Amino acid sequence: AIGIKPNGHKEVIDYCIAPSENIEVWTEMLQNMKSRGLKQVELFLSDGVVGMKAALTRTYPKAHFQRCLVHVMRNICAKVWVDDREKIMNEFKQIHQQTSQKEAAAVLHEFYAKWNKAYSHVIKGLREIEPDLLVFYNYPKQIRASIYSTNMIESFNNVIKRKAKPKAEFPTEQSLDVFIGIQAMSYNDRYFNRIHKGFGQVQDTLESYFE
């Protein structure tokens, strides 16, 4: 879990080693963050992991939830014919390139109408999660590029994978835990005084969201 404060500073705030992703794991992780002092969260951004939204509702009921649009797009591409993928990807990308939520919703509904006949199961799935697709438009345009996808976490995960590659295996879970902890601390040191892109311009607005 990587958090960004209203002043734009970001850091790894928690991680968990678990055999699978489910509501119990996510609830425990969220409750752990809350017990350590994370009192309020304005927006959670996540892929479609099982149980995440339900766990969030239990722990931070006032927080808003945004589904990662990059993961949604990947899921769509996995369910359509290869010949249609590039066209579908280009059209779906238009959803996060609009100037307002109203415009984005219109583009999304046009997408439904165009592809429903060929891929009704895909469109049905999108309609079910539509409330979580355009939440990022409720926030200042300067930071929207950072809050519609989990690219920040994907980037950090890639660093971990790259640095773990030379190791044949971790002999114990504790050794893996230590390794990930070191990578997290290194990440936090590297970004300690940096302001994430766009956040410096809207700090006052973001701070007004918090009690």
Q: What is the pLDDT of residues 140-199, one digit of tens each?
A: 999 999 999 999 999 999 999 999 988 878 999 999 999 999 999 999 999 998 999 999
Mean pLDDT across 46-64 = 89
In the structure, what pLDDT confidence band is assigned to residue 63 with cuts at 50, 70 and 90? very high
Could you tell me which of 204, 199, 164, 211 has the C-alpha nearest to residue 4?
A: 199
Identity at 135, one-letter amino acid code: V
Mean pLDDT in the chain?
Answer: 94
Is 50's pLDDT higher than 80? no
Per residue in 91-103, pLDDT (tens digit) is 999 999 999 999 9
Buried b (16+ CB within 10 A) or exposed e, 7-30: ebbbbbbebeeeeeeeeebbbebb
In the structure, what pLDDT confidence band is assigned to residue 104 with cuts at 50, 70 and 90? very high
CB 63 within 8 A of CB 56: yes
